[in-house]
Amino acid sequence: MNTLRLRDCGLFRLVALVIVPIIIVVVACNQGTYYSAIVSTFAINVLLAASLNLVNGFSGMFSMGHAAFMAVGAYISAFLTLTPTQKENMMPDLPQWLTNLQMPLLPALIFCGIAAAIVALIIGVPVLRFKGHYLSVATLGLIVIVRAVLDNSDGFTNGPRGVTGLPALATPPVIFLVLIISLFVMFRIIRSQYGRGLIAMRDDDVAAQSLGINLVSKKISIFCISAFFAGVAGALWGHVQTVISGQFFYFTMSFKVVQISIIGGMASLSGAAIGALFMTFVPELLAPLESGFTIFGVTLPSLYGISNIIMAVFLILVIIFRRQGLLGSSELLLESWFSKETYTSLFKKSEYKKLLGALKPKPRKAKSKK
Amino acid sequence: MSAEYIISQLINGLRLGSVYAIVAVGYSIVYGILRLINFAHGDIMTIGVYIMLLFMTSTGMPLWSVIVVSVLVSVIVGVLIERFAYRPLRSAGEEATLISSLAVSTLLQNLLQMIFSPQKKAFYLPDFFTQQHQFGIVKLSTMNILTFAAVIIMVIALTLVVQKTKIGTAMRACSENLDASRLMGIKPNQVIVFAFAVGSGLAALAGLMLAGEYKTIDPLMGFVPGLKAFCAAVVGGIGSLYGAVAGGLVIGVAEMLFAGLMPTSVTAYRDAFVFVVLIVVLLFWPNGIFGRSEGRRS
């Protein structure tokens, strides 16, 4: 009985699941701007999809309006981090105190998240009364509404021309720091009493209500929490791209987030990471197809949009053959990332013994089955 | 602001509303049976328009035959989509088919971009369509008259089909209760394929009207009008034929009057306005204006 498996050792988990990924990320970031840009996009995608999963996967609503909250976050971060001269040029209608205000990225992110959450609260109170499809279409409408506001309030947002010259403050270390903190918070939310209430609501709202769960407050609060992280992600996205305008935060962006979340598995935070891994790197690999390339002496014509087509087909296949997404509702990594035992294992003698025990070949394995 | 101006805005609104109505009927038929929002519906409209452009520019076929070909192609595309993207998900939940339709929509948009390039293209109808006719104070183009006629013919034809024919009876039975109608010997798949075919064909016609008005077309042109048509179907009460038509006209007229009569600083919000109307209508009439109560929308 009691055979020691390698993955049960805290020390092994520390090395394999924490230190190795960190090394990979650090190495990738130092490989040049191309790799660090991909890694940053990946991390932002994880944050977006994970925050969408809070609503779509864990609480049984189906929102598609994530791009709207991203837009709010990105524009608020532009208000807070641009220099006063830039703001006078592009946003002449801002109140004076806001024009003069300039803060570092990290505190600005919190305000971005709060602003997105406030928008979610305002829109959520009427919209979250809808169910199923109606909620989805209403949240799509939210994207249209936010886009219209962004494009038409020239004095605040520079209209359809967008805001340029955002400081490139979102370096990979910053993004990963924010990602890890956000994942930790979301993970704790999901594993709290509140989170179990959410899951109960998802599985059967009538039964949940009869157990004393307040559906309305749950729905609105989780919508706001999700929007908070979407706003943070949007702000980071803006600082990676350094250019933002309404057209970026439109259907394409929102669908991409939904796609990531579906492919990875909606009811799993680490599913977001798997989905983002797919949706970030596979299109990069397919990129040569878009511009036409030569294989075995045959030059293929450039196929604009082929990677989107392939990803769309993949999404249809996933939804037909593995509806719950690649990870389903299981969690990978996060459990060990955020448990104390993984980190304290470094200082415990017993953990080293355990590791040695697990590494030892086990000739008696067949016997133990009897 | 003269009465003439208001009337011309009203007519523009009715024309736009007719386009929405035709698309909304397609949404409504499919939704009534399958509870599926077919996001790809708007893109089928785009496909119809592109096929028309392709045949008009490359062959010298007369316009009516081009329209027939484009409707046929759209019907085939619609039926194929149903077969490969929606039928495997028949037993899955609402969300699965919604996502699938979203993926199909992305697929079609990118396919069109790949084949026809993402650039905008000019789309001209023969002069015959843009000719203006004066009826007293009212001014109508041939296209307007044809659009209104198309809506009326569509409503009459669909009413006859739904009320008098066997397949129409089967459709009504399926939208009432899919499982029970299967027990009654109706083959749901036939009915669903028929619904998709009708909806897609109508979408192609609506695309012609929309493109004739805008004069330019691009691969993404169908999506937002498609969404608005869905709003129209919901506002009218989804699942009901007359509701879809009425909702389409209401949304079209409201949008045009909003764009034409409001101060210019606000008119740029017309896309947003439609969705605000949707949300407000749903808050007060959860089943739409003409819909039957079903207790599942909000």
Would you say residue A274 has pLDDT above 60?
yes
pLDDT band at B157 (very low <50, low <70, confident <90, very high): very high
Q: Which residues lie below 8 Å from residue A161, measured CB to CB, with a gap of 6+?
A: A245
Report, as an integer, the average pLDDT of B3-20: 88
Structure confidence by residue, pLDDT tens digits, A79-135:
999 888 888 888 888 888 888 888 889 999 999 999 999 999 998 888 888 887 888
> pLDDT tens digits, residue range A210-228?
998 999 999 999 999 999 9
Mean pLDDT within A339-358: 74
Give A1's pLDDT tier (boundaries 50, 70, 90): very low
The pLDDT-based confidence of B1 (bands split at 50, 70, 90) is low
Chain centre distance of CA A275 = 10
What's the rounded Cα separation, in Å, for the pair A44 and A257? Answer: 10
Phi-psi group of A360: left, alpha or beta (phi > 0 → left; psi -120 to 50 → alpha; rest → beta)? beta
Q: Do A136 and B85 touch (CB under 8 A)?
A: no
Q: Residue B118 and residue A319: Cβ atoms within 8 Å?
A: no
- Report the pLDDT averaged over residues B39-58: 90
Burial class (CB in 10 A: 0-12, 13-18, 19+), B275: buried
Chosen from A134, A135, A204, A259 to mutate, greatest number of chain B CBs within 10 A: A134
pLDDT in tens, A318-341: 999 988 888 877 777 777 777 777
CA distance A228 to A217: 16
- Residue that is written with structure tokens 């999963």 in the block: A53
Site from A52, A128, A137, A291 to mutate, B interface, most B CB atoms within 10 angstroms: A137
| Closest Cα in chain B, distance from residue A22 (Å) | 34
Does the beta-carbon distance from A62 to B230 stay under 8 Å?
no
Closest chain A residue to B87, measured at CA: A320
The per-residue pLDDT for A333 is 72
For chain B, say whether A233 makes contact (Cβ under 8 Å): no
Cβ of A144 within 8 Å of Cβ of B272? The answer is yes
* C-beta of residue B43 within 8 angstroms of C-beta of residue B108: yes
In terms of CA atoms, which chain B residue is nearest residue A303?
B114
**Residue A364: phi, psi to the nearest 5?**
-95, 15
Instruction: Please report, for residues A35, A36, A37, A79, A176, the alpha-carbon distance to residue A32 in angstroms, rounded to integers and kept in the order given.
Output: 6, 6, 9, 30, 17
In the predicted model, what is the mean pLDDT of residues B163-192? 89
Q: Which two three-digit tokens encode residue B37?
A: 């929002």
pTM for the model: 0.88
Residues of B in contact with A303 (CB under 8 A): 114
User: Is pLDDT at B160 greater than 80 in this prediction?
Assistant: yes
CA-closest candidate to residue A256, choices A36, A64, A72, A120: A64
Under 8 Å between Cβ of B253 and B10:
yes
- Which two tokens mark A82? 């641009």
**Residues B105, A305: Cα–Cα separation, whole Å:** 13
pLDDT at B296: 45
Q: What pLDDT is attached to residue A347?
A: 75
Three-class SS state of A244? strand
Q: Is A141 close to B278, i.e. CB distance below 8 A?
A: yes
d(CA B58, CA B67): 14
Higher pLDDT pick, A245 / B131? A245
Q: What does the alpha-carbon distance between residue A135 and residue A118 come to, in Å, rounded to a whole number?
A: 18
**B216 within 8 A of B50, measured Cβ to Cβ:** no
DSSP assignment of chain B: --HHHHHHHHHHHHHHHHHHHHHHHHHHHHHHHH----TTHHHHHHHHHHHHHHHHHHS---HHHHHHHHHHHHHHHHHHHIIIIIGGGTTS-HHHHHHHHHHHHHHHHHHHHHHH-SS-EE----HHHH-EEEETTEEEEHHHHHHHHHHHHHHHHHHHHHHHSHHHHHHHHHHH-HHHHHHTT--HHHHHHHHHHHHHHHHHHHHHHHHHHHSEE-TTTTHHHHHHHHHHHHHH-TT-HHHHHHHHHHHHHHHHHHHHHS-HHHHTTHHHHHHHHHHHHHHH-TT-SSPPP-S---
B295 pLDDT exceeds 50? Answer: no
Return the percentage of chain A with pLDDT > 70, whole number: 92
Q: Lowest-confidence range among A293-302, B51-60, B151-160? A: A293-302
How does the average pLDDT of chain A come out, rounded?
Answer: 85
Asked whether the predicted pLDDT for residue A369 surpasses 50, the reply is no
pLDDT, greater one: A325 or A365: A325
Nearest chain B alpha carbon to A144: B272
Radius of gyration of chain A (CA): 23
Alpha carbon of A82: minimum distance to chain B alpha carbons (Å):
27
Q: Which range (A79-88, A361-370, B17-26) has the least confidence?
A: A361-370
Lowest mean per-residue pLDDT among A53-62, A206-215, A344-353, B98-107: A344-353
Domain ranges of chain A: 6-286+303-347
Mean pLDDT of B220-241: 87
Those residues whose C-beta lies under 8 Å from the C-beta of residue B5, and which sit 6 or more positions away, are: B260
User: Rounded to 5 degrees, what angle do the CA atoms B108, B109, B112 make?
Assistant: 85
For residue B298, give the nearest of A130, A136, A255 by CB distance: A130
Going by C-beta distance under 8 Å and a sequence separation of 6 or more, which residues neighbour residue B208? Answer: B48, B49, B52, B67, B70
Q: Class of A6-286+303-347 per CATH?
A: mainly alpha
Which range is most confident: A358-362, B130-134, B179-183?
A: B179-183
CA distance B104 to chain A (A): 7
The reported pLDDT for the residue numbered A220 is 94
Q: Taking a C-beta distance cutoff of 8 angstroms, is the pair B288, B245 a contact?
A: no
Q: Does the pLDDT value for residue B176 go beyond 90? A: no
Q: A49 pLDDT band (50/70/90 cuts)? A: very high
Mean pLDDT of B176-183: 87
What letter does residue A17 receive in the DSSP assignment? I
Query: Which of A129, A151, A255 is closest, CB to CB, to B268?
Result: A151
- pLDDT surpassing 60 at residue A2: no
Name every chain B residue with its beta carbon within 8 A of the beta carbon of A137.
37, 227, 230-231, 234, 278
Q: Give whichever of A20-29, B10-19, B257-266 has the largest mean pLDDT.
A: B10-19
For residue B210, CA distances in Å to B20, B27, B90, B106 come to: 9, 17, 32, 21
Q: What is the ipTM of this complex?
A: 0.86
pLDDT over 90 at B175, yes or no: no
Nearest CA in chain A to B264: A152
Q: What's residue A299's pLDDT?
A: 66
Interface contacts (A, B; CB < 8 Å): 125
Query: What confidence score (pLDDT) does residue B298 get?
Result: 37
Residue scoring higher pLDDT (B49 or A99): B49
Which pLDDT belongs to residue B294? 54
pLDDT of residue A303: 73
Distance CA B193, CA A211 (A): 43
Lowest-confidence segment of B10-19, B147-156, B231-240 by average pLDDT: B231-240
Q: Residue B297 — φ and ψ, nearest 5°?
A: -90, -35
Question: Residue B90's pLDDT is what?
Answer: 85
Q: For residue A231, which of A316, A340, A114 has the smallest C-alpha distance?
A: A114
Can you tell me the mean pLDDT for A303-313? 85
pLDDT of residue B297: 41
Which chain A positions have a beta carbon within 8 Å of B100's beta carbon? 315-316, 319-320
pLDDT tens per residue, range A224-251: 999 999 999 999 999 998 899 988 999 8
The answer to whether A310 contacts chain B (CB < 8 Å) is: no
Residue boundaries of the structural domains of chain B: 17-223
Residue A228 CA from chain centroid, whole number: 11
Confidence of residue A292 (pLDDT cuts 50, 70, 90): low
